[in-house]
Amino acid sequence: MLGGLTFDGIFAVFGPWIITFTLISVRVGALFLTTPALSMQSIPMTIKGAIVAILCVLAMSTMNPSLELAALTPLQLVAVALVEAVVGGVMGLAVMMFFAAVSFTGNLIGIQMGFAIANVVDPSTNQQNGILSQVLNLMALALFITLDGHIVMLQALFQSFDIIPLGAAAIQTQPLMGELITMGSDIFSLGLKMGLPVICVVLLVNVGLATLARTVPQVNIFVLGFLITISIGLLILGMAMPSLGQLFQRLMLQSIEAGVGLLKYF
């Protein structure tokens, strides 16, 4: 009896399930690549793959396989998979831009304080980053996990299958690109606003040191300047940390809402 089975018969039975599982994994995997807490380089790929597989099985248990998707050509399936990757990616992109703004803030403050000479590799992104940028990124990551941001993103992922069924997404390219460009421009404005208190104080300190260097040339400003700017910069940053944490919390919640809100462009 098994000899009577053909490839078309086997595909007619299992093909819709395989295609549905593949498209779900594309959407889930894209979300993992763009959500900071889920895309950390320190998490082994085997664990990420296992989590993605479990989430795909859970999502697949709530839906029926689509026979319409099984009838598509391979080229059409590739196009649908690319759209599913965009749907999953844009949800975490707004959160990633918030972390980019935090990283920009840390680098901006670090350059003003003199930490730019001591860049190290960030374990969460596997890229070279400033010391203060790492500190602020870890603080934002801790707040993201404490506020259950990763849970909210996963809830939005499962809800997206009800809002945008598999293969039914239609990208509104122009408004979506306009929204993404606006979010990208906010990286620099938010980064400057978050780091403005420390930057202004360190700038005034540098002006005072420059005046001292002109009036008292015997003072070794190069050595003394690093000590003063770093000390005062860390002091001001420590004093601003409570309000900075509240600002991070508010901006992070707004970024999560903005990421979920991008689904309206599909």
Contact 153, 95 (CB under 8 A): yes
pTM here is 0.72
Contact 34, 92 (CB under 8 A): yes
- Provide the residue type at 161 as one letter: F
Contact 161, 26 (CB under 8 A): no
Per the model's pLDDT, the better-predicted residue between 17 and 28 turns out to be: 28
- 209: CB partners within 8 A, 6+ apart: 221, 224, 225, 228, 229
Q: What is the pLDDT of residues 182-238, one digit of tens each?
A: 877 777 777 787 878 888 888 888 888 778 777 877 777 777 777 788 788 788 878
Q: In angstroms, rounded to a whole number, what is the distance separating the alpha carbons of residues 144 and 37? A: 8
- Once rounded to an integer, what is the mean pLDDT over residues 12-34? 79
Q: How confident is the model at residue 127 (pLDDT cuts 50, 70, 90)?
A: low
Q: What is the pLDDT of residues 3-22, one digit of tens each?
A: 555 655 555 556 677 888 88
Q: In angstroms, rounded to a whole number, what is the distance separating the alpha carbons of residues 190 and 125? A: 21
Q: What is the pLDDT of residues 232-249, one digit of tens each?
A: 878 887 887 777 777 777
Q: Return the number of other C-beta atoms located less than 10 Å from residue 202's C-beta.
A: 23
- 127: CB partners within 8 A, 6+ apart: 121
- Once rounded to an integer, what is the mean pLDDT over residues 11-38? 77
